[in-house]
Amino acid sequence: MWEYNPGNNTWTPKANFPGTGRKGAIGFTLNGKGYVGLGKISNGTIASDFWEYNPQTDSWKRVPDLTGFAASNAVSFVINNKAYLGTGLNKSNQVTKEFWEFDPARE
């Protein structure tokens, strides 16, 4: 992962993402931390794992997986310190109508 500084047009390396590489993942920020998860892994598996990035410590930690939900090309948005994620393509490559709430306070 890299951090961009628009003030001086430079990039700084940060801690590597510890999860498996993927495409179609989602990401969002909550309370100053970044979250990345879901997506399709190169072997075709749809991931349900989630990771939290703390910029203060430049470190990653795994947060609880979304039990029962795995998708690629999903969407996410944040309202009132909670993230909402859903839709996307399931393991059968069909559009899912599910939506989930992520509350870091319940972690």
> Whole-model pTM above 0.75?
yes
Question: What amino acid occupies position 12?
Answer: T
pLDDT at 107: 60
pLDDT band at residue 32, thresholds of 50, 70 and 90?
very high
Tens of pLDDT, residue by residue over 49-59, are 999 999 999 99
What ranges do the domains of the chain cover?
24-106
Helix/strand/coil (H, E, C) string of the chain? CEEEECCCCEEEECCCCCCCCEECCEEEEECCEEEEECCEECCCCECCCEEEEECCCCEEEEECCCCCCCCECCEEEEECCEEEEECCECCCCCECCCEEEECHHHC
Q: Say whether pLDDT at 66 is over 80.
A: no
